[in-house]
Every structure is written in structure tokens, then in C-alpha cells.
Amino acid sequence: MEMVVPSRIFGFDKGGIPMYYEKTGRIMANELLCNVSEEDFLEFHTWMGETLRELCRSQSRKLGKKISTFNLVLDMDGLSLAHRNALSFLRVSTTFDEMYYPEFVERLFVINVPWIGASLWEMVKLFLAESLKKKVIMLGPNWKEELLQYVDADQLPKEYGGTADVAIRLSTSEEITNEAKKAVAHLQLEQKYVAAGECLIFTFEAEAGKEVEWAWNCDGGYDIDFKVEVATKAAPEPVVVKTVGRGVTSKGSWKATEPCTITVTFDNTFSYIYGKYLNYFVDLKAVH
């Protein structure tokens, strides 16, 4: 199987913030398109995001201060107009990140942009949220020295100017699909048909410290509206705490800080024609 997404989480910057590297210019766009669905790519992307988030929590405990972001290094060496075909994956992931991982990136370092890929980078920026664009740091010819201003040498791979003897991990299309499956395998997804004009609703009475968890996708790439609402005795009017409009997949959780009623809704009332087969997991669990 060809390698399609060269990436790796490794090391920390001088402030203890995790580092994530991606060789964007070496992504095998055609292999990705032929062997990985957008749904599986999004599940893999979510798995990576949750891995980074857990690393942030670990760092927070270790350092005794809040760490809630990560640094992203995009290596554009090899970027060409052929990568235009994979922009749909970028669109899906950036939209998802704006909703579930807002302000998650501390800095976005961009290195090795080839002259022929400059126009494609301009297209890539169109998909980035305005808040993320402000965090972009374009490094020039001396980018190795510039990275060392932010990251100590022992926390930086040798190929990026440091002393750490590590290589950027290469993920195959098969690995991406497998990780996507593993991300929800323990959840035992059920399937229900949500007819046109109908909703599927779950309601939980939750104590403080309980957490509602969900994971779902629609067969055939169909979309559905999804929301999580919360009501309390003090505020009986339901408040939306999570929402996905016209989505095809989502995975996440929400923790109650006080006794409340949690309502999870899959809403297909906007569709007058198409019913959707929904694969889902929704449950309430205690958080320790």
C-alpha cells in the first residue's frame, strides 16, 4: 500500500506545547481519493485530534499550567497542482475543526512552499478560518534556524534542524481506514432508518459529572442535522451546546456540570424526499 499521509506528533515547543508535523506536499492525493472515504478520513482526523487533546491534558498535569493548543508544522515540499484533487478532504476537516476544535492551533508554521505550489497554497488558505489565518507563520529559506527559536533542538527532528533521531510517521490509506474503524469500534454502533420529515431523539436525566457521548455517520454520504440540548431547573428553556448542520458524521461528548436534562436529536425534517440510514452510538456515562 502506498504511503498517503506522512505525519507525526512529536516533541514540545519551549512553552511545553505539543508539536504536530505533516508533510503536506508528500501526500499521495490520488491514492487518498481512491482508497479512503471522506467519512473515514474525518474519523482518522478526529482520532488524531483527540490524541493531541489528551496530550495537552497530560502536559497540563505535568507542568501545572493549562496547555490547550498545539503547534502545526506543514511541510509543503513536493506540493503541486495535482494536490487540488484532494481539497475536498481539506474542506471537510477544516469545517469540522471550526466546530469542534476552535482555537486549537497555537501556531501554524508553513515551510518549503515551492514556487509552483504557491498558487495552490493560496487556494488552501481559502478554507482556513480567519482566526487560524492569523496564526500562520510563513518561514523563509532559513526555516530550520527559525524553528529553533520556538523549539529546543532535542524536541525537533533532525530533518527539521533539531537533534532528535525520529522520522515523520507515514500513514497508509489502509491505516487511516483501520484507525477510523478503531475509533468507534468499542462503541458498538446501532443502525436506524430516519424517514424524511422525521427525527430520532434521545433524552437523558444527568447528574453533575455525567457525560453524554456520541458517534455517528450516515450511509451513502447522506446528511442530517444533529444537536445536543441542555435544560436545567434554573434555565428550563433548552440551550444548544453542540450542533452539526447537514453533517454526514460526528464524534464527541459533553459533560454536565450540574443536574440537567440532555436531549440528543438527529433531525431529518428538512428532507421531504430522502430517508437516511443512521449508524449511531449515544449514551450517558460517568466521568472519573
- Say how far apart CA 264 and CA 12 lie, in whole Å: 37
Which residue, 184, 210, 237, sits at the end of a domain? 184
| Burial call 90-125: b when 16+ CB within 10 Å, e when fewer | bebbbebbbebbeebbbbbbbbbbeeebeebbeebe
| Residue pLDDT tens, the chain, 288 long | 234 677 888 899 999 999 999 888 777 766 666 767 777 777 778 778 888 888 898 899 999 999 999 999 988 887 766 666 667 777 778 878 887 788 899 999 999 877 665 666 777 777 777 888 889 898 888 999 999 999 999 999 998 999 998 877 555 445 545 555 555 555 678 889 999 999 999 999 999 999 998 888 787 667 889 999 999 999 999 999 988 877 777 778 888 999 999 999 999 999 888 889 898 999 998 654
- Please report, for the domain that includes residue 130, its CATH number: 3.40.525.10
What gap in Å lies between CA 150 and CA 156, rounded to an integer?
10
Distance from C-alpha of 26 to C-alpha of 20, rounded to nearest angstrom: 16
How far out from the chain centre does Cα 209 lie?
A: 25
Which domain range does residue 241 map to? 187-286
> How many domains is the chain partitioned into structurally?
2
Question: Are 32 and 173 contacting, i.e. CB atoms less than 8 angstroms apart?
Answer: yes
Residues 142 and 202 in one domain: no
CATH number at residue 193: 2.60.120.680
Report d(CA 201, CA 226) in Å as an integer: 10
User: Structure pTM?
Assistant: 0.58
Contact at 8 Å (CB) between 38 and 174? no
What distance in Å separates the CA atoms of residue 121 and residue 25, rounded to the nearest whole number? 10
Among 158, 184, 210, which residue terminates a domain? 184
Among 123, 151, 184, the domain boundary falls at: 184
Helices (H) and strands (E) in the chain, counts: 7, 14
Claim to verify: residue 258 and residue 169 sit in the same structural domain:
no
Same domain, 85 and 12: yes
State whether 175 and 208 are in the same domain.
no
